[in-house]
Amino acid sequence: MERISWQQYFMAQSYIAALRSTCTRLKVGAVIVRDNRMIASGYNGSVSDGAHCIDHGCYMVDGHCARTVHAEANALLQCARFGVSTESTHIYVTHYPCLQCCKMIIQSGITKLFYAEDYRNHKYAIDLFKEAGIATQKITLEDISIETKSNEKRHFVHKLLSELEATGLNEDRILKLKQEEMRLF
């Protein structure tokens, strides 16, 4: 089996970070990388120990949730909090950054942005990244999934196969299906 590329690895890590999001509108994750090593991660959610959107709903102001700190900002703030330089680093984000996060990325010294999904890509943000010489690249995850219910799915498939077997389905067909079940799980 071939290993996944660094880009696929770090993009997958950004999706894992997004699983911590407390936003009910869009789950976003970000990972900051230097020399193929993660130095910080972040996800969109409320300030530490604050009210979370998943518990209290979004606090909307001018079409934006005022309660939420964006994933990119949280990753950058983690670096600031622990005294880690972001000069000449790369950032992997599940979604294209908003205009405010774009400006923070530029000011932080990050030199390359990788993102997986377009999301309201602001024309000015696109222009700012170009003017700042920050390369942006869309990276989609290929053949990678983050499985959170594999045991439940395996038991479900096993139950289905047992029920199929009880109906009198051809024994060779059942055997092939069970072999495929073993291969997948």
The residues annotated as belonging to the active site are 72
For residue 65, give the DSSP letter: E
Taking only Cα atoms into account, the Rg of the chain, rounded to an integer number of angstroms, comes to 21
Distance of CA 75 to the CA centre of its chain: 13
The rounded distance, in Å, linking the Cα atoms of 148 and 156 is: 14
Paired sense of beta strands 29-34 and 37-43, if any: antiparallel
The rounded distance, in Å, linking the Cα atoms of 134 and 90 is: 10
Classify the C-alpha dihedral 100-101-105-111 as positive or negative: negative
Q: Are 117 and 95 in contact (CB under 8 A)?
A: yes
Tokens of 77: 């703030």
Residue 5 CB-half CA count within 13 A: 8
